[in-house]
Chains A and B, each alone.
Chain A
Amino acid sequence: MNKQIIQQAFWKTVPVFAGYIVLGAGFGILMNNAGFGAVWTAAMSTFIYAGSMQYVGVGLLTGGAGIVTTAITTVMINARHLFYSISMIDRYKDAGRYKPYLIFALTDETYSLLCDGQTPAGKDPDLYRFLVSLFNQCYWVAGSVMGNLIGSVLPFSTAGIEFSMTALFAASFTEQWLTAKDHLPALTGVLCALACLILFGPENFLIPAMLAITLVLTLLRSREEGDR
């Protein structure tokens, strides 16, 4: 393993660094308020490693939820990860010994860094993806443990720093828009999500949006095949 690929992977993950430290710290603070210490916080960030699920998970731990409720809630919140895995199937297929971890660590942010399929020329693409995934999880674990230990004693206001995640997705969207020839998939994603947000409200729109996106993309494909 050479130094260069580690550096390239690190620079790729810098945008996620700030966001994961802050969002992770937010989770750590919530855990602290709920009476859970650093070991619990580190364990959840290491083994669950799913941002919004962990936030909800604090409520499940303190609210007296049962196993079935917990399992169903997890499915509802993390269903979107099915999409990430489906679009990485061909890319991760032959990743060998890195494959299990690559699949385990496929969060929203890691996905947005790796879904364009670009890796440094002449380098082992699987190792590169593994390092990007691993660095991201390190930030997440470090942020959540820090938040749990230091809590809310930061000397400056970090209000608004959570926007870095929105900015990450927006930058990645723009980049894909600029490189893509066909803009229909991108438009499908935005328009279906907006329509479902209006129809179903902010709490319940994600699953209908995913179904709508799949349906429209499927129709687009059969139209293309009809043309041939």
Chain B
Amino acid sequence: MSFTFEVLAGGLGNTLQDAGRFGFRHQGMPVSGFLDAPLAHCANALVGNPADTTCLEMRLLGPTLQVTSGFARVAIAGDAVASVQRASGVTQALANWHSVTLREGDTLTVGAIKNGCAYISFAGGLALTSAMGSESTYVRVGVGGLNGRALAAGDRLPGRARAISPDAHELRAPEPFCHKGGPIRVMLGPQADHFSPDARRALTTSTWTTTPEQDRMGVRLAGVALEHQTRAHADIVSDGIAPGTIQVPGNGQPIVLLADCHTVGGYPKIATVISADLPRLAHMPAGTAFQFEVVSGDTACMALGEADAALQAWLGRLQRYAPSGFLDEQALYAENLVSGMCRAE
């Protein structure tokens, strides 16, 4: 059987997202979709879903969800404090990177999201209406997800008809998934020539700090002002933009565009974050300091291959586990997985 969750508390900034809405940018429609697709892939893998299945993307404060019918298997990928209150009244911490099966009356409470972005996946997926080929929420015009907006108390999240098997194994990851560290790699352009040589140097030699002005559209950075060649170079005839583009308005303070960014813009763009590193921008709460490094297209291509390989290696290390006592006793007896009982955090 499937499941239904009732949202008891919506949390803050939680939207349903999938891989994005492609093919409509010529109509002015942003792509939206996962800010950190590899992390969503991790969440989905933990419950046996295809990589791009719609997840709940959490940015600040997670929701409180109660199973009102059926049973649901979920997993959290990312750094979030979560607990499960069983219908019986027993409350236990829910470890991230572990799947868990919830039954009618069980309540999942997710607290603060520690580094900007985490995902809850739902085994079998949610029953949502696709808009323009995607279930991703684009809040500005109320498209996708659940009524085109962030999760709110009173919402219901129905599962798809496809049932999960109640005796399927739970999965866990032996270690958290981490993106590669180091500077954020960018390719120069499309309008690097609108900037002074000093500005192009400063892009990579100075340290940048994320500001509180950030959402799914972009992140405004604080640092040295990047000077345009001339004042006239600070405006261009609007042209195409993309997630990852670093646009620089007249004040010289760059904005890195993210998934919900517009499709065209009138500020010159000094460089663009490569796709291997763009997911890291979702994890930079205000005050995060970092540097940019300029790379070639070949390096960007190689970096993406490396990132994909690292993700595949992580996925390959997922393990079956027996949950800590409150679930699936038959499986426990059958497999005699006593070590699983020790996970009582």
A and B found bound together: no
Q: Which residues of A contact B (CB under 8 A)?
A: none
